[in-house]
């Protein structure tokens, strides 16, 4: 298995991407802050620990505590705001 370590936003967001036999997945952590990710492909996000506040494009922000699963469509802007450390799992879609 190949694992790719990625760092974003001055290392405040870090992820480990791996091949899950489909389109790939990652697990990662976000430190407190607000982070914008322009998505090309759709993603399914699961909050593992902590909570974040999520905005997708111009939709209203929603609270996503641990256990929350949400979909971000392809070609959207995903913004995640965290007030404490957050762990997540992300599945990528074609």
Distance CA 10, CA 58 (A): 25
Torsion of CA 20, 29, 78, 35, to 10 degrees: -150
* pLDDT recorded at residue 29: 98
Amino acid 19: pLDDT: 87
pLDDT the model gives residue 37: 97
Segments making up each domain of the chain, as ranges? 3-92
**pLDDT for the residue 36:** 98
Between the CA of residue 51 and those of 10, 32, 54, 64, 85, what are the distances in Å?
21, 10, 10, 5, 8
The segments of the chain whose pLDDT lies below 50 read none
Residue 92's pLDDT is 95
CATH topology of domain 3-92: Jelly Rolls (2.60.120)
**Partners of 75 in the beta sheet?**
none
pLDDT of 39 reads: 97
In this structure, what token pair is assigned to residue 14? Answer: 């870090």
The whole model's pTM is what? 0.92
2, 51, 56 from 17: Cα distances, Å: 8, 21, 22
């Amino acid at each position: 298995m190949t694992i790719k370590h990625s760092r974003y936003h001055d290392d405040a967001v870090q992820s480990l991407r791996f091949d899950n036999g489909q389109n790939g997945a990652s697990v990662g952590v976000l430190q407190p802050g607000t982070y914008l990710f322009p998505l090309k492909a759709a993603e399914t996000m699961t909050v593992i620990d902590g909570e974040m506040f999520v905005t997708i494009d111009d939709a209203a922000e929603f609270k996503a505590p641990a256990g929350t699963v949400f979909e971000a469509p392809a070609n959207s802007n995903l913004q995640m705001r965290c007030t404490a450390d957050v762990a997540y799992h992300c599945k990528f879609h074609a």
